[in-house]
Structure 1
Amino acid sequence: MFPKVYRTIHTTAVAAIVDTRIGRQGEVSPTEQRPYITWQMVTGQPYENLSSAPGADFTTVQLDCYHATDAGAEQLAVAVRAALDSVLICNRVVLNRRDPDTKLYRVGMEADFIDQR
């Protein structure tokens, strides 16, 4: 139900771009040093069965990669995708645009985490 997002995506390649500026539910302020990543849970459901309590949860997480340049946002998204791919987490790009409020380039991705309880 609460996937280990930070631990999963905070690889050497990602840290080289954002350091530790990865925050849940907008914990990274738009005025924070750039670039940065925010994430939030989009959906979640337990793997239910009739004989016992659920043994795992399936959670879809949205990760938003913000950068001052379009090329930088893409580079960051590629690094995040590689981190997710390395631990076999299915992911997809769902958003690629310039944010009207911050004027930063943003690549949004969804990732499907399956976590044992």
Structure 2
Amino acid sequence: MTPPIFQLCSQAVAVTALLGAGADLRLYSFGEAPEGVAKPYAVWQLINGEPENYLAGRPDADGVTLQVDVYGTTGASVRQVRDAIRDAIELRAHVTRWGGEGRDPTTKNYRASFDVDWIVLR
């Protein structure tokens, strides 16, 4: 039930231009990034899910909701990454919520958030 967000973003030129390419793509799961990572970067995490259920046989898909958060040193860079990720995944998933934008008072990093619903084939 792991959605292919990393695979789709790693194939999107607009995303890799902003977040790096290949194994260096700054898109991290479980909502956490390594300490000291270059900015901008994005994290994603599962926040909800529901397996498909059938009367006959094992289900072949799961529905999941992801939260994606983008962090950076400027509001413009965060919005640019957010939009690039949206464009990379929205033919395979549905953005269901535009979350808040804000700035951390301690680190001064900017943040933008959005949720995505995805049907993941098993």
Q: TM-score, normalised by structure 2?
A: 0.86
Distance 1:78 1:97, change over 3 A: same
Task: Give the number of equivalent residue pairs.
Answer: 116
The letter for the 2-side match of 1:54 is P
Find the partner of 2:39 among 34, 39, 42.
Answer: 34
The 4+ residue runs of structure 1 with deviation greater than 3 A are none
**Counterpart of 1:64?**
69
* Aligned-residue identity in percent: 34
- Shift of residue 101 of structure 1? 4.5
1:89 paired to 2:93: yes
The unaligned stretches of length 5 or more in structure 1 are none
Matching of residue 113 in structure 1 with residue 118 in structure 2: yes
Unaligned regions of 5+ residues in structure 2, if any? none
Q: Distance in 2 between matches of 1:101 and 1:2?
A: 33
Identify which of 82, 103, 109 aligns with 2:108.
Answer: 103
- The alignment's C-alpha RMSD in Å is 1.5
User: Is the Cα–Cα contact under 8 Å of residues 18 and 35 in structure 1 kept in the other structure?
Assistant: yes
Match of 2:6 in 1: 6
Moved more, 34-43 or 19-28: 19-28
TM-score, structure 1 length as denominator? Answer: 0.89
Is contact 1:65-1:108 (8 Å) kept?
yes
